[in-house]
Each structure stands twice: as C-alpha cells, then as structure tokens.
Amino acid sequence: MPGKHTQDRIASTPQAPNAASPNIRLSFKCENYQKIGAFKVRGAFHALIRLIRHLGEDEVRRRGVVTHSSGNHAQALAYAAKTYNIPAHIVMPSISTPSKIAGTKSHGAHVIFSGSTSDEREAVVAEVIEKTGAILVPPYDHPDVILGQGTVGLELEAQIRELQRPPLDAVITPLGGGGLLSGVATYFSPTSTRVFGAEPSFEGADDGRRGLEAGRRVESVKTLTIADGLRTPVGLIPWSIISDKNKLAGVFSVSEDEIKAAMKLVLERMKVFIEPSSAVPLAVVLFNEDFRRLVEREGGEKGWDIGVVFSGGNTTVEAIAKLFGP
C-alpha cells in the first residue's frame, strides 16, 4: 500500500528527545472500502439475518427495524434493511455529518433526528418502538452485532497469511460503543496476538480507558470530539469482553491534534480517504508514549507487527477542510 513504508519509518522514530523508539511494522485493514464505507455493515447484516431466521422474514418486514447512530451503523442497517425489503427507522443526532445523513436516506430509511448523547438518542428510539412496534437492532450492544464485527479480525488474519507476512503481534481498533473492539478481541483471544483499543481523550471520550483504570464501566459520555463515531459510552456486553484481561491488552487515548496529525498522514502519504474516528488507532501508535514504550519493551530489537483497523471513511471534503482550516 502506498505510504506504508513511510508510516513504518515514522512509527519507529522517537517523537521527542528521550522518547520511546520502538521498531514497528504496520498493516492496515481498510474498512473504509467496505459497503457503505465502514465496518458496521458486517454487524448490521449478521444481526438482521439472525433476526429473520428467528422471527421469520414476514414478521420482521411487518414490524420493521430501528436503531440509533451518528452515521455508520445508520447507513449499514438502512442498507441491510433495503436488501431484504424491510422498513427501517433510523435515529440520528441532528449534528451528524451531512454525507452520513444523505447516505442513510439514500437507502430508503426513515430518518428521525435527536440530540447527540446516547441518552437522547435512546429516548427517541423508545418513542419509535412505542409508535411502530419496530425491532431494535443496537449499534453495538448485542451479541449478533459483535459477532459480525468480529469478522474484521478473521479476515485480517487470513489476509496477513495470504500475503505471507509474519503473524501479527498486535491489533488496534477504535473504541466507541465497543462492538468492533470486543468482536476483534474475542476472535484473537485464543491466539498470541494482543488486541488494543484506541479512544479520543477530548471531553472524557476515553471512557473505556478510564473505566478499565477505575475497575467499572463509565455509563455516560458527553463529548463533541472530532471522532464523531466514538462519542458513545462502551456498551454493557462489549464491556464484559473488553474488561477481560484475557481478551483485551489495554486501551490508550490521544488528543484531537494527534488524531488530525494521523489523519493528515493517511490522506497525504497513503492516499487513503478516512474519517477522524479511523485515524485514532494510528494516532495511538504514532504518538501515545505509553503504548510506544510498551512496544519497545515487549518487542525488543525485533519489534512488533501491528494491524491497524481503519474503521470507515464516511466524511466529506468540506468537513475535512473545516478540520484543517485556519
């Protein structure tokens, strides 16, 4: 992939005097090339197919489905529902990226707007269910969604093998609600590959990291981090997985400026179009000194082969210009 060797070199270079100097080789899982532009399509299709098998296609079609999402799960469920000719009601924050709103509507979903916090979204979802009888397909807090997202890990491992590269020492994914991270962590748990989560630190968006540090799940998050896909608290079921030290090796966080710096590198050097949430894991690899010292200590002279998951690419040129504008 264009820019990969540049990224390896940057990742292996100390970011400041006396900073860690780990030897890092990167592989990228580009879920921004998925249908609807994000990994979320995996969980949406898997959950909907399981629902159809359980209740019957006619019953699911009669009732319809509902969810809440800032955009990627919204588009994923709308696309899956359209494929099976099932009505979809999608609750989206009014501040969602316009391209994500347009993408969701393009699949024929009924979009209802809400506030930006999880509590505000879920309140509107409850109203929709009461009025329509629609079946909830959660964005992350459901076993079938988690299992679908976990296929990212399965596919990544298979692709590394096909490329005849060494097995990965670690995989790092974004952490928002936790569906992707918990699915990938579950898949790799029987192996020697360590799995890490990456979060923004802005306005307490690093609830996963803080929860692990405190030994209890953080139930509410209110943040306007630029990584809009990671503005939600970790769900109950994902928390039961990521709080298991046998499955997750740790969670690290980065600042808004570090996310933008990583995103800029991907756009300019790799020529890959990603959204801010996707840049968070790479930002951790490049800039989080605790993570880098861990790799330096554990990897030694050989270093680590790290798989970085780009979770999606649903943003716009206008949004990017605003991020990097004066």
Is residue 322 part of the annotated active site? The answer reads no
User: Which residue of the set 29, 40, 100, 247 is catalytic?
Assistant: 40
Buried-state track 188-223, b at ≥16 Cβ within 10 A, e below 16: beeeebbbbbbbbbbebbbbbbbbbeeeebbeebeb
Q: What are phi and psi of 235, to 5 degrees?
A: -70, 165
Listed residue (117, 137, 131) closest to 66, CA to CA? 137
Strand partners, 135: 65
Please report, as a single letter, which amino acid is at residue 39.
Answer: F
> What order do you get walking across the sheet with 110-114 strand by strand?
110-114, 88-93, 65-68, 135-136
Distance CA 48, CA 264 (A): 36
Is residue 40 part of the annotated active site? The answer reads yes
User: Which residue of the set 12, 27, 69, 70 is catalytic?
Assistant: 70
Q: Which residues are catalytic?
A: 40, 70
